[in-house]
Amino acid sequence: MPVNRASGTRDLLPETMIRRLSVIETVRGVFARFGFLPLETPAIERIETLMGKYGAEGDQLIYKILKRGEGGVRGEVDLALRYDLTVPLARVVAMNPGLSMPFKRYQIQPVWRADRPQKGRFREFYQCDVDTVGCEEMWADAEALAVVDSALRALGFAGFTIKLNHRALLRALVEEVGAGDRETGVLVAIDKLDKIGKKGVTAELERCGLDSAAIERLWSLIDLGGAEGLELLREQLPAASQALAQLDEVLEYTAAMGVPSGTVRFDPTLARGLSYYTGPVFEVVVEKPAIGSIAGGGRYDNLIGIFGKKSVPAVGVSLGLERILVVMEELGMFGELPTATTQVLVTVFDDDSRVLALEQAAALRQAGINAEVWMKAPGKLAKQFKYANKAGIARVLTCGPKEREEGQVTLKHMESGEQWTGPLDQAIARIQG
């Protein structure tokens, strides 16, 4: 029988996992420095929790789970795999009204989407989210951008841009061209600009019922990017004055938080496809390679209210771990990251050395050193050294008859070839140093 994985999924072998965990720990450390607390939610949610939160296109990508028993036979659905981490967070907040506000949480877990697999896009993938719940002020939005900026720079990124827009501004643009009753379709079309280009978006706008004059006017407005675009829109769209003022605040606060000038750029074409956004929206793109966004988010002040008795303001951003890893791999950003978690291989010289080798490995581990013992037949040290070298283990500890007699061990550094002989406690000190 042929053995294959499900399409859009991957097996992550140890070398790959070491790199992933390194990235995750770096990101987790940045989240914690900004005061965000960890949260986990179930992989499975009730179907009604997820449906209707992502727009028509998003809802089609939800992995649904059949009911057990006769309900499943009839094709009934009552559960689903989570599509993102934001809607589950909204449910958690609604179910826990005693949470201290503002509630700042981070969450690093897998999500599932029945999407078409492509480069950097999988059906099962991890999101790294930070969200602030219970704060209406724009400094919460600015902090989300500052967190992303800090996390990416901690990973070694430099050439990236944080695009910024506002859903209320987009709404004003749509109303300006007389398409307020087709807002969702128009925004979905604009959100595809980086994928299908201006010609493709124009065709979709025509399918939404916009005539050539409305489309020309829309392009004249959304082509106004950068700081100059903000000023021109302020003159041409007085209905969007509040949204534009909030964008000014976000830009001011991100600068105060240390985000380098020019990193955050106003982009009126940024729509973000999810329907629950209500305020500022943002997306991060890298200069190279051309892989699309590696992070995105926005303000969603009405989502939590769907589950609870009152509306609760919230804003968040998600880093796409899979795309970040693809970019880091292609740009050679991992450097000399070790390929093994084991720091020392303890060799087994002969049958009489088995127990001693186990005791030595135990002593290393008690000192906080990752150690493993040669698991195959003892002897043939060259074979054991070859294994350590291939596995990327930095040091090898040996103890032959002479060393046993003198109560010593020999420690070899595999890369330099340097050897040292002495008591085990001194060997531990050298490794720790």
Domain match, 322 and 221 both: yes
Number of independent structural domains in the chain:
2
Give the C-alpha distances (Å, rounded to integers) separating 133 from 89, 176, 243, 282.
Answer: 9, 32, 20, 17
**Higher local confidence (pLDDT), 340 or 243:** 243
Final residue in a domain of this structure, among 300, 330, 360: 330
375 shares a domain with 229 = no
Question: What is the edge-to-edge ordering of all strands in the sheet holding 419-422?
Answer: 371-373, 344-346, 395-398, 409-413, 419-422
- Does 175 have pLDDT greater than 80? yes
Does a structural domain hold residue 337? no
Q: Provide the CATH number for the domain around residue 252.
A: 3.30.930.10
Query: Are 304 and 387 in a shared domain?
Result: no
pLDDT digits (tens, 9 = 90+) for 204-235: 888 888 888 888 888 888 776 666 777 888 88
Q: Are residue 66 and residue 108 in the same domain, yes or no?
A: yes
For the cut 90, the answer to whether the pLDDT of residue 425 exceeds it is: yes
Across 7-16, 120-129, 149-158, 289-298, the highest mean pLDDT is recorded for 149-158
Domain that holds residue 394: 344-432
Residue burial 120-141, b: 16+ Cβ < 10 Å; e: rest: bbbbebbbbbbbbbbbeebbbb
User: Tell me, what amino acid is at 223?
Assistant: D
Per-residue pLDDT of 307-349, as tens digits, reads 987 889 999 999 999 999 989 988 888 876 666 789 999 999 9
Q: What is the CATH number of the domain that holds 415?
A: 3.40.50.800
- Shared domain check, 311 and 413: no
Q: Do both 100 and 192 map to the same domain?
A: yes
For residues 110 and 245, membership in a common domain is answered with yes
Q: What is the mean pLDDT of residues 158-175?
A: 90
**Do residues 247 and 145 both lie within one domain?**
yes
> Looking at the structure, do residues 139 and 224 belong to the same domain, yes or no?
yes
> Is 338 contained in some domain?
no
Rounded Cα gap, residues 275 and 266, in angstroms? 20
7 within domain boundaries = no
User: End of a domain among 301, 330, 359?
Assistant: 330
Residues 141 and 101 in one domain: yes
Q: Establish if 3 belongs to a structural domain.
A: no
357, amino acid identity: A
